[in-house]
Amino acid sequence: MRVMGVDPGLTRCGVGVVEGAPGKRLHLVHVSVVRTAPDEDHAQRLLGIETGIAALMDELRPEAVAVERVFSQHNVRTVMGTAQAAGIAMLLAARRGLPVALHTPSEAKAAVTGNGRADKAQVTRMVTRLLALEAAPKPADAADALALAICHVWRGGAQRRLAHAQRSRIEEAARAERERLAARSRGGSVQ
């Protein structure tokens, strides 16, 4: 599975694409940062993020997109820009029919380091090791985007299986209910 991880940000939006499957070796496909200037018009910054992520989606053809779940920060202005960048990534994925998953920073950290409270240096070291990179991805936004993609590859398979099992149970319950109603309409005894 090829997954694009997006670490949203208005100034630096990390984008990392990995390929792999649970229990198999992961491969780096791409890592970069979409940048916008802080002194640029806000709408133009959002357009720049949209243009950059869209081009990467079209070029790299991910099968799923993992976006960092925006959490409350002390600076409302920062969290708003981060949320807007996350929304752009989700919208672009939806337009392409790609599934989108939101992972918290601690989920991504736990997936790659085993510790949901790992610091950025630990995450970067483990991403570098897991992808067998010669050099650490920089800046930290790039490493975080790769951690999100890795998290989704490893956790996404289990999440898909759980969702499929849930759909199967719902479909089976609906089938049983249709049969019960059909038997009832034929005048049979229904319990």
Nearest-angstrom CA–CA distance, 121 and 109: 11
**Cβ contact 9:53 at 8 Å:** no
Q: How buried is residue 121: exposed, middle or buried, by Cβ count under 10 Å (0-12/13-18/19+)?
A: exposed
The catalytic residue positions are 7, 68, 141
Nearest-angstrom CA–CA distance, 65 and 84: 16
CB-facing half-sphere around the CA of 54: CA atoms within 13 A: 11
